[in-house]
Structure 1
């Protein structure tokens, strides 16, 4: 499967004994945007992103919002975004730099559908565009359903930075049912979704998080990236208040003797922004696939 997997993903697939399955799933990865995917993008009010800061090298996950239509497929391989990150967003410099590797994920909680697109970005007059080299859909596993959303007027608030989690931030994380994970490799970047019942992410110390790696599509793109490059970015959001919490640091995969996997993340910097997103979503219906968090 040349072009879909690199050595890191292959190593994790082989350890799990799923290379044949990964090859089968990998056939769904496309180099362009099909009409059904283009229609899906135009309905979304959110886009999640992952990339490395071109100056510091830190990897961050971020989110953009807009009225549906702010995302469009303006060519068979081009995603165009109207608007862009705020100047304080840690990915503002990356998206303003032509040729930046960026991973994106568009996710619709109403239908529990999601789509990942990776490629190189470039600034445009109205925002930025991503020239896609990898497009594929993910299954709805571990994705919480939220029936509806509304736009609300929220005044901008200043972000707080730190190198340790506060008690408030630790509580925010342990109450989360969803977060987004950014990783990178030599030839690209990825943004992926992680979901579970509240408590599935543990705060082990003010600078350490951990969570189980639930069984998925067997591609191991994220874990493969971390096998070769431990830089990672995490994004947590409050689907009601619009608060976002971005974390950057390093992550590693621990393989248990029983075949289970645990991710452990060490924090370098946290960016906590109250009321950043102008959206209020309805309460979640938890995915029936969610395992109960270990006590």
Structure 2
């Protein structure tokens, strides 16, 4: 394990460091080098990128401390950056009131800007410093970019969504409706958190993207959602939070219908090489036991058309292929 001195000099908390060392044996020198990617301000290109978006994906907490992934939508320009340390969001997260999100000043939040047609994405983690009925301001804790891996390129028709109110149904477990939406998804978003939320910018809430062939997210056993962890940037922000805490939230959209699943629960990392070996491309498997599941219609006010799947996904698996070889 890394020493406290190593932790002080890097952008990573102990959970992330533990996963990095177990997964690829990284040491203090590697962490110090890659920590330069993480800033406490947004570079100008990130500020312009966020301001050009019509949707942000957020990691937020509810009043029970559970974590959720959820989008916020608006006309282009609904996100502003008045300075390099502030992101102003003139919208509220989807299902803010139904899920009793903590949007008070001081609440931690994770942000992902994702431009699907270009596969550009940038992230930041921080805290809410101003809040109101129509939006909130975020102070940057960590700002960093991500590579385009596993992103399915899509274009959106923002006039194609029905202008209808969101319809929410609380699900009683992993029903057939849940399973059908899960196993046709090629994209989902996962939010995670650390056990103790402190003033340290490493101790917060994070949200990230996951992509794969339809069926890479699956219902396994009677009560779990599972997905593979493919090779990535080796930061292990999500897996590090799972190692340290385990509370996660999933947002699983259907871009063609505008419906989505919202899930909160507990995640664990299965490091078994035998299990990962049955799933093409997987390095580890993550299992999520849901605590609460909501199905929402009309939540995504646009319709997406797939332009191109991420090419490397041709060599990765899906759960139906795993089931076909199980004894």
State the TM-score, normalized to the length of structure 2. 0.84
- 1:208 is aligned to 2:214: no
1:165 partner SS:
coil
2:80 matched to which residue of 1?
A: 72
Secondary structure of the structure 2 residue equivalent to 1:143: coil
Q: Secondary structure at the match of 1:282?
A: strand
Deviates more, 1:241-250 or 1:197-206: 197-206
Deviation at 1:88, TM superposition (A): 5.1
CA distance in 2, matches of 1:49, 1:33: 17
CA distance in 2, matches of 1:82, 1:156: 19
Alignment partner, residue 11 of structure 1: 18
Q: Is the 8 A contact 1:81 1:128 kept in 2?
A: yes
Structure that is richer in helix per residue: 2
Which of 172, 178, 185 is residue 176 of structure 1 equivalent to? 185
Higher percent of residues as strand: 1
Query: Bigger CA drift: 26-35 or 258-267?
Result: 258-267
Deviations 1:150-174 (A, max 9, x none): 3334211320012402202111111
Number of the residue aligned with 2:164: 155
Q: CA deviation at 1:70?
A: 0.6
CA contact (8 A) 2:39 2:143 kept: yes
- Could you tell me how far apart the structure 2 residues matched to 1:285 and 1:134 are? 31
The 1:52/1:93 distance shift into structure 2, 3 A limit, reads closer
Q: 1:62 to 1:104 in 2, by over 3 A?
A: same
2-structure distance, mates of 1:36, 1:123: 25
Q: Secondary structure at the match of 2:232?
A: coil
Corresponding residue number in structure 2 for 1:93: 101
Instruction: Trace 1:16-35 onto structure 2 (pairs within 5 A).
Output: 16=23, 17-19=25-27, 20-35=29-44
SS in 2 for 1:283: strand
SS in 2 for 1:79: strand
Deviations 1:55-107 (A, max 9, x none): 22221111111111111112111000012135655565312x11001111010
Q: 2:113 aligns with which of 102, 106, 118?
A: 106
Supply the distance in 1 between the matched residues of 2:273 and 2:301 (Cα, whole angstroms). 45
Residues 21 and 218, structure 1, Cα contact 8 Å, conserved in 2: no
Aligned to 2:49: 40
Are the counterparts in 2 of residues 107 and 115 from structure 1 also a CA contact under 8 Å? yes
1:125 Cα deviation (Å)?
6.5
Q: Secondary structure at the match of 2:178?
A: helix
Structure 1 gaps, min length 5: none
TM-superposed CA distance for 1:201, in Å, is 0.9
| Structure 2: gaps of 5 or more residues | 1-6, 197-202, 277-282, 322-327
Q: CA deviation at 1:289?
A: 2.4
Change (3 A) 1:89 1:214: farther
Contact 1:33 / 1:73 at 8 angstroms: preserved in 2?
A: no
Which TM-score applies when normalising by structure 1?
0.93
- RMSD of the alignment, in Å? 1.9
Q: Which residue of 2 aligns with 1:233?
A: 249
Counterpart check, 1:254 vs 2:270: yes
Structure with higher Rg: it is 2
Distance change in 2, residues 1:82/1:216 (3 Å)? same
Q: How many residues align?
A: 293
CA contact (8 A) 1:102 1:118 kept: yes
